[in-house]
A and B are shown apart, each in its own frame.
Chain A
Amino acid sequence: MLRDLGLAWRRLRKSPGFASAAVGALALGVGVSTAVFSIVDGVLLKPLPFPEPERLVMMTREGDVSIPDGKDWRPAAPSFESMALFLRSWTLDLTGDGEPVRVAASVVEPEYFRVLTAAPQLGRPLRDEDDQPGAPHVAVLSHAFWQRRFGGDRGVLGRSLTLSDEPATIVGVMGPDFDFFGDDVDLWMAPAAATPFFVHERGSNNFDAIGRLKAGVPLARAQAEMMAVSRALEAQYPRSNRGKLVVPIAATEFLTGSVRPVLLALLAAVLVVVVVSGANLASLLLARSAARRDEFAVRLALGAGRRRLLNQILAEGLVLALLGGGLGLFCAWASLDALLALAPADLPRQDAVVLDARVFAFGASASLLLGLVFSLVPALQVIGSDPGLFLKGAGKGVRPAEHRALGLIVVAEVALAFVLLAGGGVLLQSFRELSGVALGFEPRGTLGGELSLPRSRYGEDREKQTRTIAALVDEARALPGVTAAAYAIAAPLDRRGGLGGTVLFQTPPPARPVPQTGARVRLLHGDYFGLMQTKIVAGRNFTPDDRAGSEPVAIVNERFARTYWGTQSPLGARVAYRDFHDGTPFSMTIVGVVEDVRGITLGAPDFRTIFTPYEQRRVNWQAWGNVLVRTEGDPSQLRRALQEAVWRVDPQLPLARTYTMAGRVEEHSARERFSALLVLLFAGVGLVVAVQGVYAVLAFLLEERRRELGVRLALGARASDLARLVAGQGALLAATGVVLGFPLAVLSAWAMTEVLYGVAWTDPGSYAGAAVLLFAIALTASAIPAWRAARLDPVRALRLD
């Protein structure tokens, strides 16, 4: 076999054109598929980095969970070995030690560490006594934060941090894998320390819950138990728990469920590319074996065993697989970072995406499979044929079976390229629709920053809070280049979209019966609508006269107005609003209606929303909000200046993060962009392979038909007749491919319906565009063989006699 490999290597070196085309085809297929497989594997297939991850279960229900609910679940759910509530991200200000920064805390019940079965890298995890009322505050640091803030200093244990003006002691540091939600958690604290006000609030549904099933207990049993306890709680606490039914699902599914369809579609696309490039390899090998038919025939006639010939062909396939696979793996390695850079930031588990042994094994087996399986196609032809036929047929006539095989391969390639192109087109269209959606606000030129007035220093002091916010907005407004500034609790495209609660109608709305009464309240200071360029469609904007003590007013969004007042005007109507925190309703008069904005996602309109002036707010604990400025220049240049403006008002107040609205809009379409780009990338690859295939087959057929074309010339054919004959073959291949690919393309676009926005899976433009592009490309690929046919020298062609 080794000798065969050596021979194969020498033979390949003698035909560098064929060898590089074949290696290129293989490398393309292996490279692209390996790169994408590494992503799919890291995100979807790899188990979570905890012992027995299949026993980990997330509780899902409409809205999150409150701590009292969670405490009631435990005794009712014996299927679970352990269960813990956790708040994925809660922000605290870290002060006193360098620049004040906002840190992301994950608020977790100590049992969280037992559920995940993860030991800290340093020190200890949280313990049950840390979650007792009045217990000293302790924090466990994330590996990343420990590195970033403390340079990985092992002496941090026992150090004290000032977190939102309260001291907390560092007791442990977790390993790098622990933050598996990818939330960039800085530290973990117990609810009693970080969010004591949530501990007894059954309505404060802010927590997620994760559990570990007892060994061998089926998920279904846990589901039944959780259903029973949710029904019991619903009966006991109808106000807060109506319809709150809990469904435990596997943790991996919870984590990756949202990207699963997209990634699986990608994986399917990968398989398509593998098949396409394999087919191309086969067509090249077939063409080559046809060109070497005489050699094979002579060898067979000289008594060479079929086995030896077979070995030779397979050895060549193996050498090609090694070369192409190696090159492909290298390309995958080289392109992975670029690919991940395109990925949306919220693609879960990105850290798990690495070129490890699993991925390497995938790439290696893909190339071996490709190289060997597809070289079997021509090998079987050699084996199955009779040397006499070979010799008789040498250099003459057509072998229909072979041509049919080659034609089928190219048709399949074109069909698959069509599927990818059409699918990519539909996805791209969807992305463009999503990025072009009417937002209801102008993102360009807008910079925002999040801040939170700490209870320790601001407490319930409304006066001080109002003064600070007003001063902040004034400082921001005074920055050079800034044309407007405002403060808003919840800016657009933030999933933490303001306070939720129930609306009571003091002026009965015309809608009968009154539909759902849930709505969001968003507090504003300054000319927020002017800054966002959100149109006031009826009534008036807030003015500085709408202040504490004056008549409480509200502006509602169009969706709110339409839901309750239909086509009538809600202006002047009185509504009251009651949130879960404070039972007394708070009433106000509607003075304006604003257009709807894309408040939560780009794909859906905002909640029904009531805007009220910050100065007239009812609830005091809503300390979190956004400072917003509009500038004439590049808003991102203003980040530092905005933070410094805040520090001029309160030197200890950090801006948690600053963001441009334009950037936020982009983030919200990042996933769509990523999938469109990736599928189009595949389509490009498929296209290249299809072109290679069309070219290879036509060039091969041209060789085969040289004599025929010479005869045709002698019979009076014009050069253009011959060119048309060859190009026509290319067009026929393309047409057949498109026709066969069409139903597949429609089917796969239909399967993507769920991820499409603003474009139907039937989008005619995408299919037509793909077909036209393929035709153009197929004709281009035919150009060189067609030109060669037109230039054919009849004397030489006929001398092939």
Chain B
Amino acid sequence: MISLRNVEKSYDLGGGKVYVLRRISLDIKEGDFVSIMGPSGAGKSTLLHILGLHDSAWTGEFDFVGAPVHKLGRKERLDLQRKHVGFVFQSYHLLDDLTVYENIEVPLTYRDVKKSERQAIVADVLDRFQIVGKKDLYPNQLSGGQQQLVGIARALVASPKVILADEPTGNLHSDQGREIMELFKKLNDEGTTIVQVTHSETNASYGSRVIRLKDGWMA
């Protein structure tokens, strides 16, 4: 489903090229639950953004659900992302001036889902995450754990094939973190492919596989 061959990323700094990712080759199959681990600055977030199709400034080959990403333009790349990827951010990134309900609805509005269908889908998701009672609250009225729940709900509301999560529990207490991981496990059991960046071996243990990065190299 995801296949990287010799993917490299570098920044041009004053002195010359600084590589952030070196010769990354990996395969992720449908239904995998992969954890990316490594010390700070290793390039985990960078890799996740490439996987999430946000980034295009890299070299190598990258096939995503059968499409050669390295040959795609900005528009096709974003189209592919819209179709298959759900993203969970470390710091939640909820839209502050939208309610919980509206936040969850946002991805659907970009996927040409009819209003009535949207209502049904969002209602269903709210129900599944047991946050129906919070649907009219604004993000700043929620705890960190609740915000991340909304972040995950938002990431999967459009039924993506892949959920990418960059340290989803980084800002949470451990029991809040456990709850999130249980949720990922459940989603994965239902067939969603999950790639998470994490520092915690405990979190990694929920997954089926670990990719270790160090100074841009796969260990």
Known: A715-B107, A721-B110, A795-B54. A398 touches B89 (CB 8 A): no
Known: A795-B54, A795-B55. A716 touches B90 (CB 8 A): no
Closest to A720 in B: B75
Decide if A711 is an interface residue (CB 8 Å cutoff). yes
Known: A398-B97, A719-B75. A714 touches B52 (CB 8 A): yes
B residues 64-94 near A (Cβ < 8 Å) are: 74-75, 78, 81-82, 87, 89-91, 93
Known: A711-B93, A711-B95, A798-B89. A719 touches B74 (CB 8 A): yes
Decide if A397 is an interface residue (CB 8 Å cutoff). yes
Task: Please measure, in the bound complex, the distance between the C-alpha atom of A400 and the C-alpha atom of B110, giving whole angstroms.
Answer: 25
B-facing mask of A683-723, CB < 8 A → 1, else 0?
00000000000000000000000011001111111110100
Task: Please measure, in the bound complex, the distance between the C-alpha atom of A708 and the C-alpha atom of B49, giving whole angstroms.
Answer: 17
Task: Please measure, in the bound complex, the distance between the C-alpha atom of A795 and the C-alpha atom of B91, giving whole angstroms.
Answer: 15
Task: Please measure, in the bound complex, the distance between the C-alpha atom of A798 and the C-alpha atom of B45, giving whole angstroms.
Answer: 11
Task: Please measure, in the bound complex, the distance between the C-alpha atom of A397 and the C-alpha atom of B154, giving whole angstroms.
Answer: 19
A-facing mask of B105-126, CB < 8 A → 1, else 0?
0110011000000000000000
Task: Please measure, in the bound complex, the distance between the C-alpha atom of A794 and the C-alpha atom of B54, giving whole angstroms.
Answer: 6
For residue B128, give the distance in angstroms from its CB to the closest CB of chain A: 19
Residues in chain A near residue B74, CB distance under 8 A: 719
Residues in chain B near residue A711, CB distance under 8 A: 89, 93, 95
Contact A716 B75 (CB under 8 A): no
Task: Please measure, in the bound complex, the distance between the C-alpha atom of A714 and the C-alpha atom of B94, giving whole angstroms.
Answer: 12
Known: A398-B97, A718-B78. A795 touches B110 (CB 8 A): no
Taking each of B49, B81, B95, B154, which has the highest tally of chain A beta carbons within 10 Å of its own beta carbon? Answer: B95
Q: CB within 8 A of A716: which of B89, B93, B95, B107?
A: B107
For residue B196, give the distance in angstroms from its CB to the closest CB of chain A: 16
Contact B106 A715 (CB under 8 A): yes
Q: CB within 8 A of B81: which of A708, A716, A719, A801?
A: A716
For residue A263, give the distance in angstroms from its CB to the closest CB of chain B: 48
Q: Count of A residues near B, CB < 8 Å?
A: 19
Known: A721-B110, A801-B90. A715 touches B78 (CB 8 A): no
Contact B110 A718 (CB under 8 A): yes
Decide if B96 is an interface residue (CB 8 Å cutoff). yes
Task: Please measure, in the bound complex, the distance between the C-alpha atom of A400 and the C-alpha atom of B97, giving whole angstroms.
Answer: 9
A residues 425-458 near B (Cβ < 8 Å) are: none
A residues 399-444 near B (Cβ < 8 Å) are: 400
Residues in chain B near residue A717, CB distance under 8 A: 110
Q: CB within 8 A of B110: which of A715, A798, A801?
A: A715
Known: A716-B111, A716-B158, A718-B110. A798 touches B54 (CB 8 A): yes
For residue A427, give the distance in angstroms from its CB to the closest CB of chain B: 43
The list of the 9 closest CB pairs from A to B, nearest first, reads A716-B82, A716-B110, A794-B54, A711-B93, A715-B107, A397-B96, A714-B87, A795-B55, A717-B110
Q: List 30 A-B contacts (CB under 8 A).
A: A397-B140, A398-B96, A398-B97, A400-B97, A707-B93, A711-B89, A712-B95, A712-B106, A713-B54, A713-B78, A714-B87, A714-B89, A714-B93, A715-B87, A715-B107, A715-B110, A715-B154, A716-B82, A716-B107, A716-B110, A716-B111, A716-B158, A717-B110, A718-B75, A719-B75, A794-B54, A794-B55, A795-B49, A795-B54, A798-B54
